[in-house]
A and B are shown apart, each in its own frame.
Chain A
Amino acid sequence: DAEITQSPRHKITETGRQVTLACHQTWNHNNMFWYRQDLGHGLRLIHYSYGVQDTNKGEVSDGYSVSRSNTEDLPLTLESAASSQTSVYFCASSAGTGPGGTGELFFGEGSRLTVL
């Protein structure tokens, strides 16, 4: 079955370190998204991509970067981790089926990052 997987599921790191969270989907979806979820803020969009070599900034992109070198993967990098980036991170993908199409988002199980 097609799926979307995130790794690692849990990570503890120190302030200032570079961290990369992996996201891999096997649906061959063009659209991929990264969100962070914090208490009281719901899900906030960090970066998104509509295809290979395409990346776009979301609502809270400062301190994060992504790259899309193939259809299946959209890794999220924290260049210099800060305590404010302690959060649960969700990756999602969708087919983007055109106006009115479901464009259903499929989410991974999340990666819990703690920055000390």
Chain B
Amino acid sequence: DAKTTQPNSMESNEEEPVHLPCNHSTISGTDYIHWYRQLPSQGPEYVIHGLTSNVNNRMASLAIAEDRKSSTLILHRATLRDAAVYYCILRDDLSGTYKYIFGTGTRLKVLA
């Protein structure tokens, strides 16, 4: 399973954009990039995923580098409710398995 590297923690001011980086230099051509987040005292929840092109949804945007060795989750306007641990995960869809290997993630602190 290909690994990802994320900073342990980041801080942001409320109402400002946040860019959460993820390095995955050993990514294979069939790995999809998934992001989940875990709010305090809850299980993780899905945020966004993509393969090559940038992706947008109501929660966030995902920017994927051209060589796919890194990606960035973008929260356009951080709110206090966005304070969570964010996990970047690679999933090999073509292997027929759908298991997710979580790392330790980035703990995002949002300052009022």
Contact = CB atoms under 8 A, between A and B. Distances in A.
Do A and B assemble together?
A: yes
Given A42-B87, A42-B102, A105 B44 contact: yes
Interface residues of A, number: 29
Interface string A9-46: 00000000000000000000001010100001111110
Contacts of A41: 104
B1 to A, nearest CB: 9
Interface string B26-44: 0000101000100001111
B44 A100 contact: no
Given A105-B36, A108-B43, A35 B102 contact: yes
Which of B36, B99, B101 has the most A CB atoms < 10 Å from its CB?
B99
Contacts of B43: 90, 92, 107-110
Interface residues on B, range: 20 to 34
B99 A45 contact: yes
Contacts of A42: 85, 87, 102-105
A103 B93 CA distance: 9
A7 to B, nearest CB: 14
A58 B97 CA distance: 12
A41 B101 CA distance: 12
A1 interface: no
Contacts of A62: none
A33 B32 contact: no
Interface of B: 30, 32, 36, 41-46, 49, 51, 85, 87, 91, 93-94, 97-105
The 5 tightest CB contacts between A and B, nearest first, are A107-B43, A99-B93, A43-B102, A42-B104, A104-B46
